[in-house]
């Protein structure tokens, strides 16, 4: 089956000069928020005298909000603490658990991030000490069990002076460590996901500003559901009085290029800031600063992908009463409040962006179409565009579902078969129905029985060399000789899928090693029920057939298109060559 990746290259080449096939940004660029008043404030105990609570990282897990934060004491000591409660209305009554009681210990620790690393079923707490460190736990609701700190780097990498506020996020291949330096630079380091938390490479700057205030600190990076894109929020300093606000960057891949999102670097049009926040009814405008914080991650999204839904986006931030009277940054009495975005109400385009494409017997039609009529046994695949961004879901006959964009060799029965694709991007969903009508019923193309199978290009038969019964012996073509080693018994499994048993050996025609690679040889092997011994029969007209491996989707082919006796048989992408076409003669 030819991939639509190949078709996309061809179609991109047909676009007018100056157009582009690159992924485009779909994340909203303007935001409006509502905010609560302070929900969490510093709470002293017998051995701790914090003046502020800050740098929150929050997840909703097992029916509770778990919030890990920093605190600063009256003497300027930094530390970490844990809060939990069932509802935000209960946050004010929660009692913090100070993590200097754990193996993390005392000393400077700040700016935590908590997340679940699904590949090893382990919770991680990332923090600044001031180098990036981590602790692990099997249960984030048991803060006493966090392990002793470990460093991500043996020594500070070059060029990272002033590094702070670390954030981990992973895609399917790599994990990335992002951070800032209070100097206008946004850094990235990475390691293969199988190596995490080890093996991070030297960080590199992926975005910078000449004015440090425009890219200051406190980055957090998220996967934006339904877009195939990523969002970074970074704290800035702006306005006439130097207030804190957040700007945003975006990227189409975590390891790719980061770009400004709209005009959010401006104090007057921020991602989150004084100029786009209104306070809940009855709540006074208690803060002008919207500082270090992050999205509240819910349950299954609390894993290493850090996924957020812009249609349900809440952001826990630190703010401060402008009349607090603090005389130094370390003594600012920060409190935590919750902002909810109103940028989630995306206006969806009236035009359906889905472009329908259909492939017949592995060949994609370059003209968009959503309905086709085919003969029984035709292999049909559906591959709508756009080919990048967003997410897909399918519904079809007999309860069929899929989350892939392209669905290959779909199940068909006689008459009309309707498959409906749903494409979701930027909070908007679009649908496209595909109708495939099968003529002539689901009729069996080749009846059960014994046949000699000959290649159209040579007229020579598929042959078990010397009537061998050796497992794994490669099969060949040879001049027709009426021997039992050239006779194959067809057994129909349904929907024109068959097995072929050699009469001399009793073994089945088999793709060696169940390979899905083009060029894999075809041998014989005792029946084992696997799909590499199953062949889809496709009529190409005039009593001639293509045989496609159910396991790989590749066609039974004579090696090199040869015609000489003894040439082997392999599987290859179907091209319409007569060395991939076969005639069945009843014996």
DSSP, res 305: T
Q: What is the pLDDT of residue 11?
A: 38
Residue 412 has pLDDT above 70, yes or no: yes
**pLDDT reading at 553 higher than 80:** yes
Residue 255, C-beta contacts closer than 8 angstroms, at least 6 positions apart = 171, 174, 176, 188, 190
Q: Specify the higher pLDDT residue, 345 or 495.
A: 495
Task: Give yes or no for residue 158 having a pLDDT over 60.
Answer: yes
Q: Give the pLDDT of residue 510.
A: 97
Q: What is the DSSP letter of 130?
A: S
Give pLDDT, residue 447. 86
Task: Give the residue from 561, 550, 575, 542 showing the smallest Cα distance to 455.
Answer: 561
Distance of CA 346 to the CA centre of its chain: 22
Query: Confidence class of residue 79 from pLDDT cuts 50, 70 and 90?
Result: very high
Is residue 347 very low, low, confident or very high in pLDDT (cuts 50, 70, 90)? low
Q: What does the pLDDT average to over 254-258?
A: 97
**Minimum mean pLDDT among 103-107, 311-315, 455-459, 483-487: which range?**
311-315
Alpha-carbon torsion angle 523, 525, 529, 532, nearest 10: -10
Q: Report pLDDT for 22.
A: 42
Between CA 539 and CA 535 the distance in angstroms is 13
The yes-or-no verdict on residue 344 having pLDDT over 80 is no
Arithmetic mean of pLDDT, 406-414: 86
- Tokens, residue 582: 């076969």
Q: How far is CA 429 from CA 10, 316, 352, in A?
A: 27, 28, 9
Neighbours of 144 (CB within 10 A): 11
- Comparing CA positions, the residue from 98, 104, 253, 280 lying closest to residue 190 is 253
Cα–Cα dist 456/580, whole Å = 8
Report whether 507 contacts 525 (CB < 8 A). yes
Q: How confident is the model at residue 33 (pLDDT cuts 50, 70, 90)?
A: very high
Q: Which two tokens stand for residue 453?
A: 């199978």
What is the pLDDT averaged over residues 480-489?
95
Do residues 140 and 114 lie in contact, with contact meaning Cβ atoms separated by under 8 Å?
yes
Contact 138, 156 (CB under 8 A): no
How many whole angstroms separate alpha carbon 510 and alpha carbon 294? Answer: 55
Residue 8's pLDDT is what? 38
Extended beta strands in 194-228, E state: 204-208, 217-224
The SS3 call for residue 151 is: strand
Half-sphere exposure in the Cβ direction for 103 (13 Å, CA) = 12
pLDDT of residue 586: 87
Q: Between residues 344 and 156, which one has the greater pLDDT?
A: 156
SS3 state at 107:
coil
pLDDT tier at 10, thresholds 50, 70, 90: very low
Strand-pairing partners, residue 284, are: none
Q: How far apart are CA 549 and CA 572, in angstroms?
A: 10
Report long-range pairs for 326-330 (Cβ below 8 Å, ≥24 apart). Answer: 330/72, 330/76
572, 573, 579, 584 alpha-carbon torsion, rounded to 10°: 90
pLDDT digits (tens, 9 = 90+) for 99-116: 999 999 999 999 999 999
Backbone φ and ψ of 276, nearest 5°? -135, 25
**Measured distance CA(113)–CA(126) in Å, rounded:** 5
Cα separation, 315 vs 325, in Å, equals: 26
Burial track 369-389 (b if 16+ CB lie within 10 A, e otherwise):
ebebebebbbbbbbbbbbbeb
Poorest-pLDDT segment among 78-82, 235-239, 358-362? 358-362
Confirm if 73 and 49 have CB atoms less than 8 A apart. yes
Share of the chain above pLDDT 90, in %: 72
pLDDT for the residue 2: 35
Residues forming a β-bridge with 450? 489
Pairing of strands 217-224, 229-238: antiparallel
- Are 465 and 476 in contact, with CB atoms under 8 Å apart? yes
Q: Decide which of 388 and 430 is more confident.
A: 430
**Mean pLDDT within 28-49:** 94
Domains of the chain (ranges; CATH) run 27-341 (2.115.10.20), 353-439 (2.60.40.10), 449-586 (2.80.10.50)
> Could you tell me the pLDDT band of residue 299, with boundaries at 50, 70 and 90?
low
pLDDT on residue 570 = 97
For residues 396 and 377, give the distance between their C-alpha atoms in angstroms, rounded to a whole number: 18
Kindly tell me the sign of the dihedral angle through the C-alpha atoms of 189, 191, 192, 193.
negative
Q: Residues 551, 554, 555, 558: what is their CA dihedral angle, to the nearest 10 degrees? A: -110
What is the pLDDT confidence band of residue 349, given thresholds at 50, 70 and 90?
Answer: low
Contact 98, 78 (CB under 8 A): no
- pLDDT of 14-25, one tens digit each? 333 233 334 578
Residue 344 burial (CB count, 10 A)? 15
Q: Is the pLDDT of residue 225 over 70?
A: yes
pLDDT of residue 56: 98
pLDDT at 300: 63
Mean pLDDT of 435-451: 79
Dihedral, 129, 130, 136, 140 alpha carbons, nearest 10: 80
Determine the average pLDDT of the residues in 85-110. Answer: 96
Q: Where are the beta strands (DSSP E) in 138-173?
A: 150-151, 164-170
Q: List 523's β-bridge partners, or say none.
A: 474, 510
pLDDT for res 255: 97
Structure tokens at 218: 């406190």
pLDDT at 419: 94
Res. 223: pLDDT tops 80: yes
Q: What local confidence, expressed as pLDDT, does residue 326 receive? A: 85
- Classify residue 441 by its DSSP letter: T
Is the confidence at residue 441, as pLDDT, over 50?
A: no
Average pLDDT of the chain to the nearest whole number: 90
pTM above the 0.75 mark?
no
Beta strand extents in 311-405 (DSSP E only): 314-319, 335-341, 358-360, 363-364, 371-375, 380-382, 391-396, 400-402
Distance CA 470, CA 180 (A): 64
Per-residue pLDDT reduced to its tens digit, 201-211: 999 999 999 99
Give Cα 500 distance to the centre of its chain: 39
If pLDDT is split at 50, 70 and 90, which confidence band does 155 have? very high
């Amino acid at each position: 089956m030819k991939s639509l990746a190949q078709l996309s290259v061809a179609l991109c080449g047909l676009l007018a000069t100056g157009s582009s096939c690159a992924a485009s940004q779909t994340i909203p660029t303007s935001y409006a928020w509502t905010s609560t008043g302070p929900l969490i404030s510093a709470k002293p105990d017998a051995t701790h005298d914090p003046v502020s609570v800050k740098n929150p990282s929050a997840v909703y897990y097992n029916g509770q909000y778990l919030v890990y934060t920093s605190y600063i004491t009256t003497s300027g000591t930094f530390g970490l603490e844990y809060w939990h409660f069932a509802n935000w209305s209960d946050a004010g009554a929660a009692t913090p658990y100070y993590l200097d009681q754990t193996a993390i210990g005392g000393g400077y620790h700040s700016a935590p991030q908590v997340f679940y690393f699904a590949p090893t079923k382990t919770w991680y707490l990332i923090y600044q000490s001031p180098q990036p460190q981590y602790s692990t736990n099997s249960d984030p609701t048991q803060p006493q069990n966090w392990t002793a700190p470990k460093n991500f780097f043996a020594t500070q990498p070059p060029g990272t002076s002033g590094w702070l506020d670390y954030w981990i996020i992973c895609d399917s291949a790599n994990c990335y460590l992002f951070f800032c330096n209070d100097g206008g630079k946004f850094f990235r380091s990475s390691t293969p996901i199988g190596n995490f938390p080890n093996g991070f490479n030297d960080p590199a700057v992926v975005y910078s500003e000449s004015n440090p205030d425009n890219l200051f600190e406190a980055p957090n990076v998220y996967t934006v559901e339904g877009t195939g894109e990523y969002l970074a929020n970074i704290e800035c300093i702006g306005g006439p009085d130097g207030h804190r606000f957040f700007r945003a960057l975006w990227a189409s891949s975590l390891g790719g290029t980061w770009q400004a999102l709209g005009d959010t670097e401006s104090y007057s049009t921020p991602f989150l800031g004084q100029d786009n926040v209104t306070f809940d009814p009855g709540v006074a405008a208690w803060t002008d600063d919207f500082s270090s914080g992050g999205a509240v991650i819910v349950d299954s999204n609390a894993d290493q992908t850090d996924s957020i839904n812009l249609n349900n986006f809440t952001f826990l931030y630190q703010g401060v009463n402008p009349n607090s009277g603090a005389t130094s940054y370390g003594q600012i009495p920060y409190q935590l409040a919750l902002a909810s975005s109103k940028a989630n109400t995306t206006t969806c385009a009236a035009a359906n962006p889905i472009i329908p494409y259909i492939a017949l017997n592995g060949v994609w039609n370059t003209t968009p179409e959503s309905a086709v009529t085919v003969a029984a046994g035709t292999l049909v695949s559906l591959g709508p565009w756009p080919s990048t961004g967003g997410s897909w879901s399918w519904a079809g006959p007999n309860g069929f579902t899929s989350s892939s964009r392209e669905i290959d060799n779909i199940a068909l029965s006689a008459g009309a078969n309707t498959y409906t694709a749903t494409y979701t991007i930027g909070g908007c969903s679009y649908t496209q129905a595909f109708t495939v009508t099968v003529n002539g019923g689901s009729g069996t193309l080749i009846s059960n029985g014994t046949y000699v199978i000959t290649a159209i290009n040579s007229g020579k038969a598929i042959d078990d060399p010397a009537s061998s019964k050796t497992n794994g012996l490669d099969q060949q073509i040879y001049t027709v000789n009426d021997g039992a080693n050239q006779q194959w018994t067809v057994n129909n499994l349904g929907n024109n899928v068959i097995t072929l048993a050699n009469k001399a050996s009793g073994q089945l025609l088999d793709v060696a090693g169940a390979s899905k690679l083009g060029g894999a040889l075809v041998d014989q092997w005792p029946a084992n029920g696997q799909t590499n011994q199953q062949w889809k029969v496709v009529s190409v007209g005039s009593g001639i057939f293509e045989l496609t491996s159910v396991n790989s989707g590749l066609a039974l082919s004579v090696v090199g298109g040869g015609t000489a006796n003894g040439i082997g048989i392999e599987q290859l992408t179907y091209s319409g060559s007569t060395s991939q076409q076969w005639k069945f003669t009843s014996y």
